[in-house]
Structure 1
Amino acid sequence: MVREFQADDLSRIMKLWLDTNIQAHDFIKKSYWQDHFGEVMEILPKASVYVYEDNGSIQGFIGLMDSYIAGIFISKDHQSRGIGSRLLHYVKGNHDELSLKVYEKNKRALDFYKREGFVVTEKQEDKENGEVEYQMAWSRNWA
């Protein structure tokens, strides 16, 4: 079930954020994610966050700042089960347009967003870590 973030979710969400980023971005030093942990923990409660929960277990979440998807994070044990799609479709139901950034080397995520109707609008370098990332966009009008 998809539901809105609650304050007592924060520690579980942050563990999921860190674990998933380290796993999905093995081309970026682990310390990069660890160094940003505190900043994200402070910002996350100010975003629109929706969690996917099953039997009291948070299996994934999506975070948005207005219509910008800051990320979709699914626990390793629950990936490829449609949870990311459910979260994304939930958000699409409330927005006419969405955008996000994804690293070029994160092929799995890039392919996922393309399947979900996102298109690459820009290619740039993440100045913090030197990795190439794509700006992607989705519009209800394109569907």
Structure 2
Amino acid sequence: MSETYVISNEIEIVGFVSLVDDYLAALFIDVKHQGQGYGKRLLNFIKERRENIQLKVYKKNRNAVNFYVMNGFVIKKELLDEQTVEEEFLMGWERV
């Protein structure tokens, strides 16, 4: 059901991104490789292949929220994840 892409350095896989249609279902970078530009590279890779992308992120995960904002995503709506009872943001990006 999903499209998944991995990113690696020359030694190991350091992260991946998974999309379901235009929904970013997962973006993970190994902790020891965070802050090295891998997440931004994966986002740019999928942006080249989509006209718009949506995702949900927990409101309390300020690092993730800031990462997506710095990469052109905007907060569209505030929601409540019914399974975890956590506040979350629906965020979106559109090609201009």
Q: TM-score range by the shorter chain?
A: over 0.9
Aligned partner of 2:49 in structure 1 is: 94
Aligned residues: 96
2:36 to 52, 69, 81: 81
Q: How big is the shift at 1:56?
A: 4.1
Please state which structure has a larger fraction of its residues in strand: 2
1:133 matched residue in structure 2: 88
- Give 4+ residue runs of structure 1 displaced > 2 Å after superposition: none
Partner of 1:58: 13
Q: How far apart are residue 126 of structure 1 and its match?
A: 0.3
| Consecutive unaligned residues in structure 1, runs of 5 or more | 1-45
Structure 2 distance, partners of 1:55, 1:81, is 14
Instruction: Give the Cα–Cα distance (whole angstroms) in 2 for the partners of residues 54 and 83 of structure 1.
Output: 9
Percent identity (aligned):
39
Write out aligned runs for 1:21-60 (5 A). 46-60=1-15
Structure 2 unpaired stretches of 5+? none
Higher helix share: 1
1:21 aligns to what? Answer: none
Offset of residue 101 of structure 1: 0.3
For the pair shown, the structure with the greater C-alpha radius of gyration is: 1
Aligned to 2:74: 119
TM-score, L = length of structure 1: 0.66
- 1:55 is displaced (CA, Å) by 2.2
